[in-house]
Amino acid sequence: MGNAILGGLRFRIDPSQVAIPYEMNVAVTPTVGGRVVQVHGVTFGDLTIRGLFGQDRANRRESWRLAEDFSVAIQRLVDKQSARPTMAQLTGTDPAPMHPTLRFLYSDANSPTRRGLPVHDWDLNVYIKGLRDIDGSATINHTPGKYSYGYTLTLFVQQDNTGKLAQVAQNAFIDRLSKGLGWKRGPYNGLMTAADLASYLQSKGAADIHSYVLQQYQNSVTGTIPQQGGG
């Protein structure tokens, strides 16, 4: 039984990959001692879900039939979220939201592919943007000899109901930035002496701390929250 649910549609098999790209919204202020990096927030990209349909032997459903069933179910959800608003909604007498989002729930606590990595426990409001065959050519691509079907489902993230993703992205940004600078978390932020700093910069081939900070910032500002490895 899958651990992913979209708008009440439960995935029969766990997704093979679930990932969200992100970009940190930061401001860099030059100071006498270097640069101050302030994190103001996170901008998330589209959520991408990839997986395989397998074969439902109990119900005698081949992989291609499961692909078609999934496509029909996704189309119903698209029709629901893109339905025309009623006159009552337009006039405000009906408080039901127009073009409602779908709720995407994902947990891999019991997934055999997690292998001891941190548990994902996502609760997102999303819109469906696209469904493609795993080869990306069409929604469903039927070809002779094809026995295994898969999918790539793209969702627009409207809201993270847990607030965890922003924190994960921020922590990942800080960790990557600090590792690149040789800085370690500690009671006093791992202070370095002038000699330690000069030696470290020399080992990295950097001329000065300013150019090295800029380089590490540019390498750390973007990333992806994957299915395996944190979230």
Say if residues 52 and 13 touch (Cβ distance below 8 Å): yes
Beta bridge partners of 105: 5, 123
Distance CA 125, CA 161 (A): 7
Write down the residue that tokens 């800080």 correspond to.
174
Q: Work out the average pLDDT over 86-106.
A: 86
Say if residues 15 and 231 touch (Cβ distance below 8 Å): no
150: pLDDT strictly greater than 70: yes
Q: Could you tell me how many residues make up the chain?
A: 231
Residue 83 lies in a domain: yes
Distance CA 54, CA 88 (A): 44
231: pLDDT strictly greater than 50: no
Say if residues 147 and 54 touch (Cβ distance below 8 Å): no
Distances (CA, A) of 224 to 132, 146, 163, 168: 21, 31, 16, 10
Distance CA 155, CA 136 (A): 15
Range of the domain at 131: 4-169
193 phi/psi in degrees, rounded to 5: -80, 165
Residue 190 lies in a domain: no
Residue 30 lies in a domain: yes
Mean pLDDT check: name the lowest of 12-21, 63-72, 97-106, 193-202: 193-202
Number of domains the chain is built from: 1
Distance CA 211, CA 116 (A): 38
Q: Work out the average pLDDT over 106-122.
A: 68
Residue 130, SS3? strand
Write down the residue that tokens 């589209």 correspond to.
46
pLDDT tens, residue by residue, 13-56:
888 888 888 887 777 777 666 666 676 677 888 999 999 998 88
pLDDT tens, residue by residue, 151-167:
999 999 988 888 878 77
Q: What DSSP assignment string belongs to 180-220?
A: HHT---STT-----HHHHHHHHHHTT-S-HHHHHHHHHHHH
Residue 204 lies in a domain: no
199: pLDDT strictly greater than 80: no
This prediction has a pTM of 0.68
Distance CA 25, CA 28 (A): 10
**Range from 23-27, 75-79, 110-114, 178-182 that averages highest in pLDDT:** 75-79
Residue 198 lies in a domain: no
For residue 146, what pLDDT band results from cuts at 50, 70 and 90? confident
Q: Work out the average pLDDT over 138-151.
A: 89
pLDDT tens, residue by residue, 70-93:
999 999 999 988 888 888 888 888
The reported pLDDT for the residue numbered 84 is 84
The reported pLDDT for the residue numbered 118 is 57
- Measured at the CA of 30, the angle between CA 29 and CA 33, to 5 degrees, comes to 125
Q: Work out the average pLDDT over 132-155.
A: 89
Average pLDDT across the chain, whole number: 79
Q: Work out the average pLDDT over 49-74.
A: 91
The DSSP code for 33 is: T
Residue 37 lies in a domain: yes
For residue 113, which of 45, 6, 17 has the smallest C-alpha distance?
Answer: 17
Residue 185 lies in a domain: no
Residue 71 lies in a domain: yes
